[in-house]
Every structure is written in structure tokens, then in C-alpha cells.
Amino acid sequence: MNNNEYKSGFVCIIGRPNVGKSTFLNKVIGQKIAIMSDKPQTTRNKIQGVYTTNQSQIIFIDTPGIHKPKHKLGDFMMKVAQNTLNEVDLILFMVNAEEGFGKGDQFIIDRLKQTKQPVFLVVNKIDKVHPDSLLQIIGEYKELYPFKEIVPISALEGNNVSTLLQQIEKYMPSGPQYYPADQVTDHPERFIITELIREKVLHLTREEIPHSIAVVMDSLERRDNDTIYVAATIIVERDSQKGIVIGKQGKLLKEVGRLARLDIESLLGSKVFLELWVKVQKDWRNRASQLRDFGFREDEY
């Protein structure tokens, strides 16, 4: 094929927290690179997923859920999301068919009106609703914004995902293949490993530890031919949270370690020895220096 015909571009996935952006990204890429949680605003950095075919390369960016910020970390997440909108070739505005239109959607649509990029409406979780109510939901959104395309999908089941990918490809400009065909993300392994650990903490602690945790990698080294040694520290804001994360007789932390190790072994394709610690850093989300230490760097965006 002639090089001029190759298409490539950047696609931003945006939407209220918990609409299924990370689930969609993992489905498209075919492996886990974005953490999934039923808690809102679990994505903190732009996750780049790379989808490559013989005709095109689509680089997906999963932004932090757009919301009104409540602390410095929230400000950072909003800045990342806003800046991303202006840098991409196409925006996917994802909504949850089960929940329908909400206040947060209006907040996002107001932001979309300030951009010039084409916007698709992606209605996710269609497996959870009746087709009649789906049409009603689509009608509501159509009145609010001139979407270029409207594609209903189920990211979890995979319904219509290939159709969405075909539509996205049509909107991509001619361009080079930015990444090797077998590369699925531009994030270093260290970042993905800390995200996988954070996902397990969020999953196992439910409401008690919403977003006051960060995970910092202490070391990642291959100690012999078939074992990789990983050491990481889970940061919380209060002593009471430390107790919750460790659990009775250390049970919860052990389970976090067990589940995270399985995912890390799958990611690295190697046996993993994982060691975890828990440390208190009071009010870290409001301290710029600590946000920088934990990898939230505004200057990268």
C-alpha cells in the first residue's frame, strides 16, 4: 500500500466519571492498560492506547473524567482533560445509557462547544437498556450538540466496537505510523504496574478510600532469569486509612498484593515477587510538591 494512504491520528475519550472509558480502551487494545473501578475519577493521567491495523494507527487518550475540581489534584486532572481536547483529531464523548443525561454532561457539552474538533457521541452500556429508551436517550443528546456520528456500543460485551473503530478511521488524517505495530501504550511498565496496584486497593476498600491513595514504585528489577522483583508503597492521607488498607492481620494488603501480582505477571509475561508497604502523607492531594513526586506533572501537558 502507498504510504500516502496510511491514516493516523489522536482520539480523546471524554465523559462523566464511570461511563466505561477505561473498559472501552482495554477492549480495543486487547489487554489491560487502564484501570477499571466503579468509583468515579479513577483515571488520573492521560492513558495512551495504540490501535494499529494495516490501514491506520489510532492513538487513544483516556482523560480524567471531567468534573468540577475540589482540590489541587482535581485542578490538575481538569487541566489535563481540557488541554487534551485541543490537541486531538477527534473527540469521543461517551455517555452511560443506563444513567441517561445528567448535570455533568451539560458541563462537558459546554466545554465541547469551545473546541473545533469533530465529536462523536458514543452511547455505552446498551446491553443494559431497552432499545426504545436508547432512542430516547440519543434524541436528548442530539438536541444539545451537532455530533458528527452517533454510535451505540457495549464496551464490556464488545457490541458495535468494530463499527465505531471503522467510523473513527474515516475521520483520521493521512499520517505516519507513530508507534511500532506491536506497541499498545506509550506508558512505561512502571506506571502501568502502579496503576494495577491502585486499582486493587480501590476495588477492595470500597467507599473508605476513595481517591486519597497514590502508589509509588520503589524498585523494579529482574533478580534471576525468571523472577521480577517489584516493591511499591501505597500512600494514604490518614492513619485510619492506613489501617483499612492493611486490614485485620494484614489480610487486605495481602489480597491487594495477590490480585495485583496476577495482573503484573500477565503484563510482564514473567514470574513476579511483589512487596507492598503503606505510608501516610497527610493531605498529599493539596500539596504541589507531593503531586509532582507522585507523577502528576503539569508541565508534561
Q: What is the DSSP string of 54-78?
A: SSEEEEEEEPPPP----SHHHHHHH
Q: What average pLDDT does the structure give for the chain?
A: 79
For 181-214, what is each residue's pLDDT tens digit? 777 776 667 777 888 888 888 888 866 565 667 8
Look up the pTM and report it: 0.60
* pLDDT higher than 80, residue 48: no
Residue 212 CB partners (closer than 8 Å, separation 6+):
236, 237, 238, 241, 284, 285
Average pLDDT over residues 55-67: 74
Name the residue with cell 487486605: 252
- Residue 283's pLDDT band, with cuts at 50, 70 and 90, is low
Q: Which of 71-75, 148-152, 174-178, 247-251 has the lowest mean pLDDT?
A: 71-75
Backbone angles phi, psi at 120, to 5 degrees: -100, 145
* 148 or 283, higher pLDDT: 148
Average pLDDT over residues 232-241: 86
Distance (Å, rounded) from C-alpha 195 to C-alpha 190?
9
Structural domains of the chain, with CATH: 3-171 (3.40.50.300), 189-300 (3.30.300.20)
Please choose, from the candidates 126, 118, 181, the residue with its C-alpha nearest in 3D space to the C-alpha of residue 159: 126
**Is the distance from CB of 165 to CB of 58 less than 8 angstroms?**
yes
For 152-182, what is each residue's pLDDT tens digit? 999 989 999 999 999 999 999 998 888 777 7
